[in-house]
Structure 1
Amino acid sequence: MKEMWDHWDNETKQLVYCNYGDLPYLLNAKLDKHLFRAIAQFWNPAHSCFTFGKVDLVPTVEEYTTLLRCPKIQVDKAYSRAASVPTLLKKLMNITGMSEQWITTRIQQKGDSKCVPWKSLRDLVLVHPDVKKRVDVFALGIYELVVFPKALGHIDEAAFDLFDRLSKGVTPIPAILAETFRSLNACRRTGEGRFIGCAQLLLAWFHIHF
């Protein structure tokens, strides 16, 4: 994805910034695994915060909103799964602009959820004639592979649902924070495990305070 981004012209990049804020900077954020493991040791599951000596710190909605800086986000419209949502097929058609047949052949079942291989969508980013759709699919890839890295190499149904709601101006920040806290709790409870929140954002937040 970083290679794709580096080859885009300024006009396309500005379209990403306009619609999705500073999301692309996550591609260049260096992930210091040793620092991240050290930080995770200070997570206090009982109080859902980091405890450094006598100081308690926790990422806030306001801080994460500033870090992502998305002009189209409406901070008072938090994401929550709607009671009635379009089918995965419809959501994919809206996001990609591709035909029902194209999408149907690429939907896979992984565990208890449906997903689409990132390779299929990556190829779409490279060849889609509509620049706006190209940008949308690219941003979707960042949300799944960097912000919510749950299904490695695949975009799962939950990511499509969240991304579909972004077009309505909802803020994804509470969902990002909730997944971060949940994953930190899970890692601390087991003593190990794969963190499936956005490690890049968490480290960016940490550097601001230290």
Structure 2
Amino acid sequence: MSKLWDFTRISVTQKNLHELKEIWDQWDDEIKQLFYREYGNLSYLLDVKVDNHLFRALTQYWNHAYSYFTSGKVDLVPTVEEYTTLLRCPRIQVDKVYSRVANVLTFLKRLMNITGMSEPWVAAQIKQKGDSKCIPWKSLRDLILVHPNTKKRVNIFTLSIYELVIFPKVLGHVDNAVLDLFDRLDKRVTPVSIILAKTFRYLSACQRVGEGRFIECAQLLLAWFHGHFWKVEKVFYRVFSEDYSPLK
């Protein structure tokens, strides 16, 4: 039996997303096509509105013992295949799962490679947040707006999406863990397994205590949720159908 809380206090606070959306809207078709070729249609996540009430309900129906949503006779859980489809990234290979390697470049060196900026500039931007090295989103935003290299602008923009939308652990900053994952995308690894693992972890943590901050990709989870329900008179999740899903 699921033990559901009468009221779940859950926060899905995310900052700076409107700034990412403004940058995206200012780009011409040429830059957007470069983004699509390199990273898929990841930008659609910027348009997914996070519904706090829906997240509260989802958390209440999460069964942390078995890691799925359960309601009556219906059990639902995001799969690797579904999240791979929703990420829409042509570079990743499903059989190359991300794992952190022991010997990697330093945070500073990887930032230099991704941004194309000098060592003094990068060193001046790095901050310490707890036990993690970070770079403020403001520094990356300013760089996206003025960087002369279009490919670097796209890379920095995508790195910002992975931090601010998919893994918003340190609000307003890009941390070392996300930089490592993003750096490995060039090796065509898939980040889906770690996204799912962290999603399950935070859903379970919030469900057990009845409150908390969901700090994984809320937009991606809601895009998955909406994909399993019909639209009736432009209203989501009114009629459930086992035979229908845009994910197919």
TM-score range, shorter chain: over 0.9
Q: Report the secondary structure of 2:220's partner residue.
A: helix
Among 199, 202, 206, the residue aligned to 1:180: 199
Among 96, 99, 118, the residue aligned to 1:80: 99
Between the aligned partners of 1:88 and 1:152, the Cα distance in structure 2 is 18
* Residue 39 of structure 1: how far off its partner (Å): 1.2
Structure having the larger proportion of residues in helix: 1
The TM-score with structure 2 as length reference comes to: 0.83
Which residue of 2 is the match for residue 156 of structure 1?
Answer: 175
2:139 counterpart of 1:120: yes
Between the aligned partners of 2:100 and 2:82, the Cα distance in structure 1 is 23
The TM-score with structure 1 as length reference comes to: 0.98
Among 148, 153, 169, the residue aligned to 1:134: 153
In structure 1, the gaps of 5 or more residues are none
Task: Report matched runs for 1:72-111 at 5 Å.
Answer: 72-111=91-130
* Residue 165 of structure 1: how far off its partner (Å): 0.4
Among 139, 145, 159, the residue aligned to 2:164: 145
Between the aligned partners of 1:129 and 1:181, the Cα distance in structure 2 is 40
- Write out the 4+ residue segments of structure 1 that deviate beyond 4 Å after TM superposition: none
In structure 2, the gaps of 5 or more residues are 1-19, 230-248
2:212 counterpart of 1:193: yes
2:28 counterpart of 1:9: yes
Between the aligned partners of 1:190 and 1:85, the Cα distance in structure 2 is 37
Q: Report the secondary structure of 1:114's partner residue.
A: strand
Among 50, 65, 74, the residue aligned to 1:46: 65
Among 84, 95, 101, the residue aligned to 1:65: 84
Of the structure 1 ranges 101-110 and 49-58, higher mean CA displacement relative to structure 2 is found in 49-58
RMSD: 0.8
How many aligned positions are there? 210
Of the structure 1 ranges 155-164 and 47-56, higher mean CA displacement relative to structure 2 is found in 47-56
Letter in 2 for 1:103: V
